[in-house]
Each structure stands twice: as C-alpha cells, then as structure tokens.
Chain A
Amino acid sequence: MNLEFGRVTLFVLFMLIPIVGIALGVRAPALRSRLPLLVAFFAGTIPILAMYIPKNFLSGPQGMSSRLDQWLIIVAGFALLLGIVNVIQNGMRKVSRRESGWPFSVVLLTGLFVTGALGIYGAVSHQGIGFLPDGRSTPFKWIQDSMFLPLQATIFSLLAFFMASAAFRAFRARNLEATILLIAGGLVMAGRVPLLDLLAAPFPALHASAAAGTQTLGKLTEWIMDTPNGAAQSGIIIGAALGAASMAIRVILGIERGYLGLGGGE
C-alpha cells in the first residue's frame, strides 16, 4: 500500500472527514451543512499552497494538487452519469404523458441510446470509435461525421445571421455612448475587410485610391483594437480578476455559500 504523505492526507481530508462528518451529521443537521464548507476549504487551499510550496507531496506530478485535478475529472465523469439519467427521466416523462413536443423526446432518446450503445460496443469489442481495420468508419464515427459535425457547424453558422439582425436592431444612435459604439463598430468592420477595394472593384480608375484607403482604414482599425480596446479589455480583465479572487476567497473561507444552496454569507 502506498502510504505517501500526500496520498494519506488527501484520504483523510476528502474521505475520512466527510464520512465521519456525514455519520455524525445524521444527528446534527448543523454539522451536515458545515461539511461541504470544510471540503471546499481544503480543496481550495491545497492548490494555493501548491503554488508557493514546491514540495513533491504537494505540487509534484503525483502531489496533492495534481491529484485533485485528476479527481475533478473523475467527479465530472460521475456527474455526467447523473445528467444522462436526468435526460432519460425527463424524456420518458414527456413521452409517457404525451406532453407537447413528445415526438422530439423520442428522437432524443433514440439518438442517445443508439450512439451510446455504438460507443460502448466500440470499447468492449476493442474496435474503437474511429476506423475499422479495413479503413471504413465505425458506425459511431459515421454518426459523428455525418450528423454531429454538420449540425454543430450549422448552429455555429447561425451567428452570422444573428449578428446581422442584432447589428441592424442595436446599432442605433440613441445617445452619446450608443453613437460612439456605432461609429467604432462601423470603422472596425470596414477596416477588417478590403471594403473600399470591394466597392471600387467595378471602377479600375479608383483601385489605387481604394487600396490607399483600405490601408488607412486598416491602420485606424489596428489603433482602435490596440489602444482603446486594449486598454478597456485590460481594465475589465484586471477588475474581473480581482473580483474572481475575492469571490474565490469567500468560497474557500465559507463566507459565500449561495452555490451550495445554503443561503447567503455569514
């Protein structure tokens, strides 16, 4: 049995203490609500300590901090099971009660079970989910390439249409700030593409001027992106980072408990 200090400490902090706490908490609800806070405290403090203490048991490749990273992935995997169960429950409920849109739930559940089964079959049969030995795609890959990827691209491409309709509706000179937004947005949109070259395309005499204009617009766009935009982004990033640090310390110290369903701060 590997009894490294880091492994033992993690075991005590994240298994022994919670189990003992739950057992004691059966009789004491107040203790039950404190337990997640204790786990959050340790889970938050260990990576912070690992930043400053390079000892192997803490920040090494097999140290406590690295193991916590791995545990997060494992916990997320189990949480995914919970999510899938929820999808199946909701789908089955809609179908059984013939709620509005229930045929779509049939399609959803069919897709879920068929794709999941093909993926599991690929793992169990050691075929994998990529290519068969003869070079053909597995059914799982065929579903991915023929359905999943094109559908993903389709939804992403909606952005182009929504961007246009949002710009048409929102870029109105209602007040000073909106006007500045409008002008800056228009200039950057014009500067990012050879717009003047496009407009001058049917007129050869204007090509040289259009090229010069495009260069100027491009430089103006670069300045807007570099200077006002860069400064504003830096300010927002720094402010948000401080806010995140403050929020993180509140979570670690148990001051912020809303995310646990335990109400506000204390």
Chain B
Amino acid sequence: MPTLMDRILGLDRRWIFLLVLIAVVLPTLFPIGLPTTTTDSTRRAFDYIESLKPGDVVWLSFDYGPSSAPENDPMAEGLMRQCFVKHVRVIVSALYPLGGLALANNSLARVVAEFPNLKYGEDYVNLGYKDGAAAVMRQLGESIGGAFPTDVNGKPIAEIPMMQGVHDLHQVKLVFTAATGIIGEWWITQVHAQIGTPVIIGPTAVSAPKYFAYLNAGQLVGMLGGMKGAAEYEKLLQVSHPELATLYRSTPHFTGAKGMDAQAVAHALIILFIVVGNFAYIQHRAAARRRS
C-alpha cells in the first residue's frame, strides 16, 4: 500500500502543471503589486545610460524573437524611454531572423507615440533587419552604411540627418542589445573586444548567469537579467524621471513590473514543491532504512 510520501514522490506531473498554471494566471488577473529591489548589474546599466549627454548616439539592437518578448520588450522600451527623455539619439536595428524586426517596429511605435516631439531621422532611426549577425557587427565597426545602406523604409542612410556624423560604431556611445541566444555574446566579442564600444546586454533570465563572467571582467558595462532586470530598470527609471512614473502607472501594455507578481508566486510554488519533495524523499529513505 503506497504511503503518502510514496504518493508525493510519484506525483503525476500534470498536477504540478495545473498548480503552476493557477500560480501564473491568478496574479496576472489580480495584481498584487509587490515591490522590486534593484541589483548592482542593473544599476550600473542605468547609471551609464544616465551619464550620456544630449545628442549622444546609442545603438539598440532587437536580438530576440516573440518567444522571449515578455522579458526583452520591457528592457528595450525602457531604454528607448530613458534615451528620449535625455534627448539621446537612438539607432534601432534587428539581427534576430525570426520576428526581431516585427518586435522592433512594434516597440518603437509604442514608445514613439509617448513622445510626440520626436522626429524620425533626427532623434531616432530604424535601420531594419540584416542577416548574418556576427558578420554585420564586424562590418559596423568599419562602416554602418556598408551593413545598412538604407533604413527600414528604403531611404539611403546618407540622407538621414542623424546619421551624418555617425559613420561607424566608433561614433556610437553605447550598444544595448536585448538578446536571446548567442547574438548578445557576439556584441561583446565582436564589437566591444574589437572596437571598444561599451555594451549593455539585456539577456533572458536563463542566459543571464553566463554574462556575470563578462560583467566581472569589465567587458560589459551593465546587464538587465531577465524580467526581473527589466522590472528593476523600470523602477530606477521611475525614480529618476517622474514623468515616466506616470506613464508606467497608466500604460495598458505589458511591463516588467507587471510580470513580477506572477513570477514571485511561481517561484514560491516551486520552492514549496522542492521542500515538500525533499521532505517526502527523506521520509521515504528513512522508512526504507527502517525496513532493511
């Protein structure tokens, strides 16, 4: 006759799936509003962008697809908001083949609508998607026009006002890559290592542990790790720029902070599973020892 501990150890995984589903759906429907603490890696990223001057140029690369949009979209949009508030100019590109450009277009449209005084071609430009990520990055070090001869609308970049003094990445103050997979790492090895342009990465949470090695080695200026990193960044933005606080409070769109409630409950549930599972395992082992 299986004991309670045996039943727990042999629990059908579908019960676990159901509980996780409830843990994620309920906080999404009924937000709790949990506070967010900030970490050093996010603070470093924020401070670096905050130190940029009006007129400086930042390269924002959408290197992720729709599957990681909930994590990466808030990061990319947060960066654009910080840059636009500080009158820092933004060059947008996409190097992820499946869906990167669509996400770039959507995010850019969303944020630009919040800043009615922005002018395309003077305050920001969208260069679109280019295939061959690492090769494109190497070419950006020599000539941006060589990699992106036109913007996403087909206009030659020589005719775009804000690209006049920006010939290659040497004139760019920062590269921010919202990335999934290996493309983010290529910005570090191909761009920062070869050209010296500072890089901030916004990886998915699963890739973030790897980038601590680069952060500690000084090859990254900062990092926003996953949705938590995005939520931290949003908090720092709201503290430093009150006009953005109003925006974040009232926006109907998804933000990092909105996702953290569900993540907190899911983490709590998983920790509970681990504790219960270990309790059952220890009891089971003790019972087996007693029987033998």
Contacts and interface: CB of A to CB of B under 8 A. Distances in A.
Contact of B210 (A156, A163, A186, A237): A237
B240 interface: no
B209 A229 contact: yes
Interface stretch (B29-37, B47-55, B83-91): B29-37
Given A160-B266, A192-B267, A168 B16 contact: yes
A61 B136 CA distance: 10
Interface string A145-176: 00001001101100011011101110111100
A134 B35 CA distance: 45
A17 interface: no
B213 A172 contact: no
A118 B161 CA distance: 37
A157 to B, nearest CB: 8
Interface string B260-285: 10011111111101100110011000
Contacts of A156: 67-68
Given A168-B273, A226-B216, A149 B281 contact: no
A194 B281 CA distance: 28
Contacts of B210: 233, 237
Contacts of B65: 152
B264 to A, nearest CB: 4
Interface residues on A, range: 35 or more
Nearest to A233: B213
A153 B67 CA distance: 5
B143 interface: yes
Interface in A68-110: 69-70, 73
A198 B264 contact: yes
Given A73-B132, A153-B66, A192-B228, A173 B142 contact: no
A173 B270 CA distance: 16
A215 B36 CA distance: 10
A129 B216 CA distance: 44
Interface stretch (B17-25, B110-118, B171-179): B17-25
A128 B217 CA distance: 45
A171 B274 contact: yes
A73 B130 CA distance: 12
18 contacts: A61-B146, A66-B135, A70-B132, A73-B131, A164-B20, A164-B269, A167-B273, A167-B274, A168-B11, A168-B274, A168-B277, A190-B271, A192-B263, A193-B260, A214-B35, A214-B37, A218-B37, A222-B39
Interface of A: 61, 66, 69-70, 73, 149, 152-153, 155-156, 160-161, 163-165, 167-169, 171-174, 182, 185-186, 189-190, 192-195, 197-199, 201, 211, 214-215, 218, 221-222, 225-226, 229-230, 233-234, 237
Given A167-B270, A172-B278, A222-B41, 9 more contacts: A69-B132, A164-B273, A173-B278, A189-B270, A193-B34, A194-B264, A195-B264, A230-B212, A233-B213
Interface of B: 11, 13, 16-17, 19-21, 24, 32, 34-37, 39-41, 65-69, 99, 131-132, 135, 139, 142-143, 146, 205, 208-210, 212-213, 215-217, 228, 260, 263-271, 273-274, 277-278, 281-282
A-B residue pairs, 3 tightest by C-beta = A156-B67, A193-B264, A230-B212
